[in-house]
Amino acid sequence: MTGPDQRTHREVVSFVRRSTRMNPSQERAWANRERYLIEVPRAATSTSIAETAAVGWPAVFGRRAELVVEIGSGTGDSLVAMAGAAPDRDHVAFEVFRPALASTMIKLQQAGIENVRLVDANGVEGLNRLFGTGSVTELWTFFPDPWHKSRHHKRRLVSTEFADLVADRLVPGGLWRIATDWADYAEHCREVLDPHPRLVNVDADSSDLTPRPETKYERRGVAAGRAVIELAYRSMP
């Protein structure tokens, strides 16, 4: 793999791993996870990915196709619908909450979707270590944790360091899609990404983008009076 490996390594992560307790349906899905889950070698922690890890995505999917990566796929509401609407693309989603992964597997199976694989690991390390320069067509980061308190801002996913990695991994003209229901986080994203030399702010409401369905999490935010803000950045050579 090529690219800025050292500068994207950090001990502070943008997530907190929650309980792994599952209901019976999730337990059954997890027991048969080999259909959808890609196992990766670990480094020091249970959500880490070893620096030597590698995945041959054409071999995994049995074809060569455009790759879409989602970091923080939750229970898969957006992923399942959007992957189903784009069968010509292959989708790799990172999520560290195992019950959410199991729920995603249930939805994938029910929908008969085969162009998705899941990784139970830190998505930043995954993007860095499992994908080469110019290999990702789209990156999705929908509703990342806003980490409101100033002392926690270092945990925010969107940073100059991460933007450097995204710009490197996206194909020329590739797209980074962001959604948030926190206005201050959207402003943070613009402050970080608008000046980036290899990313250009584009119309997130463009009709040529795969429609993103409204999720349960999103509906809760809207019910609480928060507006959903969509951002999109296109990579430059």
Annotated binding residue at 125? no
Annotated binding residue at 181? yes
Annotated binding residue at 149? yes
Nearest to 124 by CA among 89, 161, 151, 150: 161
Annotated binding residue at 154? no
Q: Where are the alpha helices (DSSP H) in the chain?
A: 5-8, 24-31, 57-61, 77-84, 98-111, 123-130, 160-169, 183-193, 216-223
Give catalytic status of residue 145 as yes or no. Answer: yes
Which phi and psi (to 5°) does residue 115 adopt? -100, 35
Which residues does 83 contact at the CB level (< 8 Å), separation at least 6? Answer: 68, 89, 91, 113, 115, 116
Annotated binding residue at 70? yes
Annotated binding residue at 233? no
Q: Considering 5, 77, 145, 164, which one is annotated as catalytic?
A: 145
Paired tokens of 131: 């994908």
Annotated binding residue at 191? no
Locus of tokens 């509906």: 219
Annotated binding residue at 218? yes
**Residue positions in the annotated binding site for substrate?**
149, 181, 215-218
Annotated binding site: 70, 95, 122, 145, 149, 181, 215-218
Catalytic residue positions?
Answer: 145
